[in-house]
Amino acid sequence: MSYPYQIKSFHEYKTEYEKSIEDPAGFWGSIAEHFTWRRKWDEVVNWNFKEPKVEWFKGAKLNITENCLDRYLESRGNQPAIIWEPNDPEEHHRTLTYRKLHEKVCQFAHVLKNNGVKKGDRVCIYMGMIPELAIAVLATARIGAIHSVIFGGFSAQSIADRLEDAQAEYIVTCDGAYRGAKDIPLKSVIDDALIGNKTVKKVIVCTRTRTPVSMLKGRDLWWEEEMKQVEEKGLNYIEAEEMDAEDPLFILYTSGSTGKPKGVVHSCAGYMLFTNYTFVNVFQYQTGQIHFCTADIGWITGHSYIVYGPLSAGATSLMFEGVPTWPDAGRFWDIVDKYKVNILYTAPTAIRSLMGFGLGPLQNKDLSSLKVLGTVGEPINEEAWHWYDEHVGKKKCPIVDTWWQTETGGILISNLAGITPAKPSWATLPLPGVQPILVDEKGNEITEAVDGITSGNLCIKAPWPSIIRTTYGDHERCRVNYFATYENLYFTGDGALKDTEGFYRITGRVDDVLNVSGHRIGTAEVENAINMHAGVVESAVVGYPHDIKGQGIYAYVIYNGTHMDDQSLTRKDILQTVTRVIGPIAKPDKIQFVGGLPKTRSGKIMRRILRKIAEGEVQSLGDTSTLLDPGVVDEIRDGRL
């Protein structure tokens, strides 16, 4: 199979881009012709950013799993859909062909149905990176329920919050998960999350680590037993639920600058179209190639470029359970060598961490199968870009620097591998259908360039098919967060530069959101977690440049509790609290105890100053005259870690 909408030259990119802007309905309507619909649309797109209300393919009926599975049964039933590499390289890998995956998804869809899951119900999935995770996701979509996958690193408390917010009635989990040398007791975390929960009716537990678990009578069920019943009855097929184009497909929680994480909602048709289109074009996927995206399915990257993008394109998607540095720092290269991987899509933080191990781990690894390299999640520094290019791609693989967000569903700005030009540490050009604009604080377009470069806040002028539809249960929050800062624009929260060729470089968040190892964390969230610790009076959290993580977390804490005779113990107490409230990914790298925080007379913390101190730029703290007590700044600066 080839993809009629795969762009093949820079010239073609330009003409397609123009078409997509002049006539979005014509452009996306003709791409949509290449998918399987139960009923076609009445209207391609209808939108306003005021409410906001965005509808793509209104009136159309479909099920995304028919597009990912059923339509490939005949043409490529025996081709691998998912290849799974276990955490332990000694354990046998697994391959699920399109036929097998279809069968397993149908069977598990029966299991869900048998347990009462109906269209529109929320199914929370908290599993390690095993094929059953992808099966659970697709089975949920098959019966029209809404999945909400939670990354295995989140704590019981964060899961409890998400279950509550989504009013989830079902959970699919594992006894435990392997990640490198660690064994994470997932079911036991779920048990803690369910203390006091009033909505969850059933928990289906898949066996992976054989960690002892407590199974609650009437609530908890084993995956294997449930599947066996279905298999014995020969229930290998289930009719897919007919979904409206705009029915929600999934919820995925992500951090913002205020409050608790919000449930980003994506809908069926637009998300399917755009993840497929961007997968085929950005990575220039060719039939039969092996695509290896190293993300976890708990993040949007895994949803879009392990599951839905590749499978809807009939591709072979490689899924890896472990981590890049275990049993050693050559693991990615072993996997590339073993499966002859053609496309490798990973995060700058992984590249930087592997760089630290030198070239040894790359020796005697055959990487000649690689054709395309990709990065995602944070800005890639030039050093990491060149290392990736030279030592992994051997200077013959184009690198795609893909900028996007949980809210965008798919890639918005990126070069197309080998088709449009690359520029180290620049995401370069928008995908067709995407209209970026740089604005100043007031929302006016920035046109003035300094040495050919304009700089501003990155917004998008019109909707692409997989734009966020709402934040679950709170549409106003969606409006305020993304559509109210600047009238008639979607605001990304990122700052960007633009050069004379129209290339974009993403410089990072301009709001109070941190990007730690490619993971999004709100400073307010970390502060709330720290403040829950007894003895903490107040705290302020900022980011600072970190060699491997991109950004590190720096916390200033006012503390008057016990254990203060031993500051290092108090620091550990606080880290424990953060781990409990959010999860280990949100642990501050540095905790500085302070007597006060720099506040304005109106009581606002001046984060600008704290950021500068954390960055080590103590010479240029700027104007501190509006502070209530300018003296605290000296104290904080002198106590800097």
Shortest distance (Å) from residue 379 CB to ligand WT7: 4
Q: Which residue in the set 296, 494, 525, 527 belongs to the binding site for ligand WT7 (CB under 6 A)?
A: 494
403 binding ligand WT7? (CB under 6 A): yes
Shortest distance (Å) from residue 207 CB to ligand WT7: 30
Contact string 322-361 vs ligand WT7 (x = CB under 6 A) = ----------------------------------------
**Cα–Cα distance for residue pair 163/199, rounded to 1 Å:** 8
Shortest distance (Å) from residue 301 CB to ligand WT7: 4
β-partners of residue 56 are 45
Shortest distance (Å) from residue 263 CB to ligand WT7: 13
Shortest distance (Å) from residue 137 CB to ligand WT7: 17
Closer by beta carbon to ligand WT7, 165 or else 244: 165
Tokens of 624: 């501190």
CB atoms within 10 A of CB 395: 9
Q: Which helix (H) or strand (E) holds 116?
A: none
Closer by beta carbon to ligand WT7, 267 or else 492: 492
Q: Which residue in the set 13, 49, 404, 472 belongs to the binding site for ligand WT7 (CB under 6 A)?
A: 404
Q: Which residue in the set 430, 493, 583, 588 belongs to the binding site for ligand WT7 (CB under 6 A)?
A: 493
515 binding ligand WT7? (CB under 6 A): yes
308 binding ligand WT7? (CB under 6 A): no
**Cα–Cα distance for residue pair 437/435, rounded to 1 Å:** 7
**Cα–Cα distance for residue pair 67/269, rounded to 1 Å:** 10
Q: Which residue in the set 161, 175, 401, 525 belongs to the binding site for ligand WT7 (CB under 6 A)?
A: 401
The 3-state DSSP composition of the chain as helix, strand, coil percent (nearest 5) reads 30, 25, 40
378 binding ligand WT7? (CB under 6 A): yes
SS3 581: helix
Q: Is 337 exposed, middle or buried (0-12, 13-18, 19+ CB in 10 A)?
A: middle
Q: Which residue in the set 69, 96, 130, 376 belongs to the binding site for ligand WT7 (CB under 6 A)?
A: 376
Tokens of 472: 């679950």
Q: Which residue in the set 81, 186, 265, 427 belongs to the binding site for ligand WT7 (CB under 6 A)?
A: 427
Shortest distance (Å) from residue 380 CB to ligand WT7: 7
Closer by beta carbon to ligand WT7, 110 or else 262: 262
Q: Which stretch binds ligand WT7 (CB under 6 A): 104-112, 396-404, 573-581, 607-615?
A: 396-404
Closer by beta carbon to ligand WT7, 314 or else 374: 374
Shortest distance (Å) from residue 414 CB to ligand WT7: 7
CA dist list (Å): 416 to 52, 291, 348 = 30, 15, 18
**Cα–Cα distance for residue pair 465/245, rounded to 1 Å:** 11
Q: Which helix (H) or strand (E) holds 590?
A: strand 590-593
301 binding ligand WT7? (CB under 6 A): yes
262 binding ligand WT7? (CB under 6 A): no
Q: Is 516 exposed, middle or buried (0-12, 13-18, 19+ CB in 10 A)?
A: buried
Secondary structure (DSSP) of 468-479: --EETT-HHHHI
Give residues 181-240 in contact with ligand WT7 (rule: CB under 6 A).
none
Q: Could you check whether the bond before residue 52 is cis, i.e. omega within 30 degrees of 0? A: yes
CA dist list (Å): 385 to 292, 397, 416, 493 = 18, 12, 16, 24
Going by the DSSP 8-state scheme, the letter that residue 243 receives in this structure is E
Q: Which residue in the set 87, 140, 289, 405 belongs to the binding site for ligand WT7 (CB under 6 A)?
A: 405
Q: Cβ-closest residue to ligand WT7?
A: 406
Q: Is 579 exposed, middle or buried (0-12, 13-18, 19+ CB in 10 A)?
A: middle
Q: Which residue in the set 520, 549, 571, 587 belongs to the binding site for ligand WT7 (CB under 6 A)?
A: 520
Name residue 609's amino acid.
Answer: I
Q: Which residue in the set 131, 263, 379, 522 belongs to the binding site for ligand WT7 (CB under 6 A)?
A: 379
Closest to 122 in 3D by CA, of 143, 147, 142: 147
Closer by beta carbon to ligand WT7, 256 or else 432: 256
SS3 460: strand
Closer by beta carbon to ligand WT7, 155 or else 346: 346
Closer by beta carbon to ligand WT7, 493 or else 522: 493
SS3 112: helix
Q: Which residues bind ligand WT7 (CB under 6 A)?
A: 254, 300-301, 376-379, 401-406, 427, 492-494, 506, 508-509, 515, 520
